[in-house]
Amino acid sequence: MSLGPLMLDIAAETLSEEDRDILQHPLVGGVILFSRNYSDVDQLHALVETIHALRDPKLLVAVDHEGGRVQRFRNGFTRLPAVAHFGQVHDQDAAKARKLARTAGWLMAIELRAQDIDFSFAPVLDVDHGISDVIGDRAFHHDPAVVVELAHAYVEGMHEAGMAATGKHFPGHGGVSVDSHLGIPIDTREYNDIYAHDILTFKRMIHHGLAAVMPAHVIYENIDPQPAGFSRFWLQDVLRTRLGFQGVIFSDDLNMEGASVAGDNYADRARAALEAGCDMVLVCNNRKGAIDVIDGLGQWDDPVSHLRLARMHGRNAIDRNHLFASHKWKQAVSLIENYQDDPSLELDF
């Protein structure tokens, strides 16, 4: 059975019978975990093992684990700073900031891989224009060149740990104040302005081998009437053709208000995103909506998407006890936890 185009969530720390039934449906391809699915590392590892054992090939297991405000697992995991802190360090010492970003990317990824989680939806490649609270300190910097420099280092750390990276939110969410979870953001800039300040980060990270992209639920009204995640212009003409991106395109959560313009019916939203060019759609915190997609989407079989999605499986199995006993992990934790207390801290990681 191939990986289907739907990623959904579960309600608890273990799978219910309904969960097991739904996760074996051929339209399902992945599970995204949230804080409610976590109590401790042993429970999490058992949950992920159970999910992976349901299917062959294994379902993808993902999480939003950026650091700062967006870190789903805390107790038993290193508390990661928001990546904007690395941008602040960069203003004083670029080399130190790159090393910190690489260490943080490795530490985030290796701790998740030790639980057999395939990937985190990271890093944020948005440019901080100073007007978006929902992006804010989730962005590395206000200068696109610095964003690329630090994101590249961060992704190198992820790759070393065996995790593929997902850049978000294409072509850039930082230029609007409205939170797409709660409203429908409209960006009034022209294409050339967006390209120079926002798309540039994605273009350069694609050149560095970015594995996946998540588009924004933002309408760029002077360019296309559809939000980027439902727009063939943004996903096919720009991302695939002009930028040459060959990796996975994940929709942002179809349960967000920014996705409502694609219809009230979740199967219609999913179909619109997939037809625009997404390989996998997310429906989070709405089991009825996920079931509507399963019941209403019909058969959806894209062999190219299957191949792309298979590359998102985590690499390099990690033994948790071995990791937590390693000097490399201990040094990385110390560096990330102490760099603000000791700005002259030498980084030899």
The residue behind tokens 């019978």 is 17
The residue behind tokens 């002009």 is 242
The residue behind tokens 């992990």 is 329
- Gap between the Cα atoms of 263 and 281, Å rounded: 15
Question: Which residue in 61, 3, 54 sits closest to 31, CA to CA?
Answer: 61
- Gap between the Cα atoms of 259 and 293, Å rounded: 14
Concerning whether 252 is annotated as a catalytic residue, the answer is: yes
Query: What order do you get walking across the sheet with 28-33 strand by strand?
Result: 119-120, 60-63, 28-33, 6-8, 280-283, 248-253, 212-215, 166-170
Residue 82: DSSP 8-state: P
Are the CB atoms for 3 and 56 separated by under 8 Å?
Answer: no
Tokens describing residue 15: 């799978």
Catalytic residue among 181, 224, 237, 306: 181
- Gap between the Cα atoms of 48 and 43, Å rounded: 9
Q: Give the pairing type, strands 70-71 and 65-67.
A: antiparallel
Concerning whether 224 is annotated as a catalytic residue, the answer is: no
Catalytic residue among 9, 19, 118, 252: 252
- Active-site residue list: 181, 252
